[in-house]
Amino acid sequence: FVLRRSSLTIGELLGQGSFGEVRRGVCKGRPVAVKTLCPKLDVRSREGKELLKEIEMMSHGFKHCNVVEFYGIYEHGGLPWLVMELMPGGNLEHYYETKKQARRSRQWRPRISRAVSWVEDILSALTYLHSQTPPVFHRDIKPANMLLSADGRSIKVGDFGVSRREPGYNLTGTTGTFRYMAPEIYRGEADYTTAVDVYSFGLLMWFIFAGGHPFSNMDGHAVAQLA
């Protein structure tokens, strides 16, 4: 999975955060997304460890039409770059915001047929991940991690930075996004199951059909406490 520099061309910036960025690229003739870590950080930081975990998880080579495909890694300046399938439609959260801005409205909902199709895509991906041996716990199912095709018709699940693949459901720890976090994760319970993703999936359906985050009048931490 280690890529040569000659096989990778880095292009325009697609997204940026305080811990890294995602750029458009071309690898062996196909368009890709390249996820990098900020040079000021290192692999021992929390963000660095999450990127390494994502690389480890994606290296299992998941093959499903609704899971973002992993192509390999490229090492630059001692830091790993994650090279994966490019989803030109961006993430679902940004897609909704763009639609609202275009209509100068605080409300926007997709056609029911489109929303149902998206839900089926996500459910298919989760069924596949949970059926692996051992099962894959995504642990951060939310709109920003649902990535759209260029025409917006299909969705793939991405961002496996906090995902785990554990035998015997031996999982503990608080991780994920508060607004979409299952109660057992928030409470720090031991040995939770793939039901944590099902809970988050339910809230994600709220977002898809209602056109906004659940309990949008409350901050995410308060939503988790309420649950």
Confidence at residue 41, expressed as pLDDT on a 0 to 100 scale: 63
Residues 81 and 114 in one domain: no
Residues 60 and 118 in one domain: no
Q: How many domains would you assign to the chain?
A: 2
User: Phi and psi dihedrals of 149, rounded to 5?
Assistant: -70, 170
Helix (H) or strand (E) holding 148: strand 146-148
CATH code assigned at 202: 1.10.510.10
Residues 81 and 122 in one domain: no
Domain C-terminal end among 56, 85, 114:
85
Domain C-terminal end among 85, 105, 122:
85
Cα distance between residue 92 and residue 99, in whole Å: 11
State the pLDDT confidence band at 171, using cuts at 50, 70 and 90: very low
Domain C-terminal end among 31, 65, 85:
85
- By three-state DSSP, how is residue 155 classified? strand
Cα distance between residue 3 and residue 54, in whole Å: 17
Confidence at residue 120, expressed as pLDDT on a 0 to 100 scale: 98
Q: Which two tokens stand for residue 37?
A: 């870590």
* Higher per-residue confidence, 108 vs 79: 108
The predicted-structure confidence for 114-136, as pLDDT tens digits, reads as follows: 999 999 999 999 999 999 988 99
Residues 97 and 181 in one domain: yes
Structural domain harbouring 173 = 92-226
Cα distance between residue 77 and residue 80, in whole Å: 8
Residues 98 and 12 in one domain: no
Confidence at residue 43, expressed as pLDDT on a 0 to 100 scale: 64
Confidence at residue 34, expressed as pLDDT on a 0 to 100 scale: 93
* 175 pLDDT higher than 80: no
Q: pTM of the entire structure?
A: 0.89
State the distance between the two ends of the chain, measured CA to CA, in whole angstroms. Answer: 41
- CB 82, CB 73: distance < 8 Å: yes
Q: Is 111 exposed, middle or buried (0-12, 13-18, 19+ CB in 10 A)?
A: exposed
Q: Catalytic annotation on 197?
A: no
- By three-state DSSP, how is residue 87 classified? coil
Residues 197 and 131 in one domain: yes
Q: Which two tokens stand for residue 185?
A: 């994760």
Residue 35 among known ligand-binding residues? yes
Catalytic residue among 121, 140, 159, 197: 140
Which has the closest alpha carbon to 70: 123, 27, 7, 6?
A: 27
